[in-house]
Amino acid sequence: MTCAAMACRDAPGGMRRSPLQTVDARARILAFALSLLVAVSAVGSSPLVLAVLCAFPVAAIVIARVPAHMILRRLSFVAVFIALAGVFTFLIPLAAQPSAKRFWFLLFGSLFAVTSTAALTYSTTATEAMEALQRLRVPSHVIWTGFLGLRYLPLVFGEGRRVHRAARARGWRGSSGITALGWMTASLISRGFDRALRTGEAMEARGFGSSRVILEPCPLRVHDWMVMTGYPATLLALRLFLDGGAL
């Protein structure tokens, strides 16, 4: 296995490759982004059209072998908002047809976004995504800012928990002082800045920003192109057909 293979098309360690993982990460990312645009363009469509569009990412998560519990967990985050929207749309007498359309879009749009994101993130490791974004000429500072944010979130939460525990051990309770809460938050922010500075130094010490980085040639194959263009194009064509050609 070469580094090019590791970077370009390798499956995450120990994971069984799904058919979706054989597609280049660039194709997956672009197909995902374009399909979201198609979904957004269907804002005024009927529930039937929206449901048909949702069948595509559902098929993608089946192909990507995403476990059902992962989808349900993600859906549970938006389920509350959708349920609330349903209550306000259908149970309040003032509800009118346009807001019902908005509700269906919210429902199917959320389903579309959650299933699409699950299919993409489950089949694409962070490493693959970073490599793919680099190859798509996204500036390295933009890529690293996003990924470092994700990398350090667990650390910040961990520090927050430790600070909170230490404060409670010394008798602090939520109701016993908003000032202390402010200090804790300020301390977390200050530590976050310190850590950012040190990480920046660590990156510089290892040559970050060097123009010497070589991206090995990794051309898209026929089936990558087919997925990247075919998936969103089919979605768009179907939407136009069902909506009678209206964009």
Between 41 and 134, CB nearer to other proteins: 134
Question: Does residue 137 touch other proteins according to CB under 8 A?
Answer: no
CA nearest 108: which of 63, 62, 48?
48
Question: Does residue 14 touch other proteins according to CB under 8 A?
Answer: yes
Between 55 and 201, CB nearer to other proteins: 201
Cα separation of 64 and 128, whole Å?
A: 15
Question: Does residue 4 touch other proteins according to CB under 8 A?
Answer: yes
Question: Does residue 12 touch other proteins according to CB under 8 A?
Answer: yes
Between 168 and 198, CB nearer to other proteins: 198
Q: Tell me the closest approach of the beta carbon of residue 204 to other proteins, in angstroms.
A: 7
Name the DSSP letter for residue 11. P
Outline where 170-246 has alpha helix (H): 178-205, 222-242
Listed in sequence order, the residues at least 6 apart from 191 whose beta carbon sits closer than 8 Å to its beta carbon are 159
Q: Choose the stretch contacting other proteins; rule: CB under 8 A; options: 7-15, 29-37, 65-73, 111-119.
A: 7-15
Question: Does residue 143 touch other proteins according to CB under 8 A?
Answer: no
Cα separation of 169 and 19, whole Å?
A: 51
CA nearest 105: which of 43, 51, 55?
43
Question: Does residue 33 touch other proteins according to CB under 8 A?
Answer: no
Residue of 70, 87, 213, 237 interacting with other proteins (CB under 8 A): 213
Q: Tell me, what amino acid is at 169?
A: A
Residue of 106, 127, 172, 243 interacting with other proteins (CB under 8 A): 127
Burial of 102 (0-12, 13-18, 19+ CB in 10 A): middle
Would you tell me which residues interact with other proteins (CB under 8 A)?
Answer: 1-4, 6, 12-14, 125-127, 130, 147-148, 151-152, 154-155, 195, 198-199, 201-210, 212-214, 216
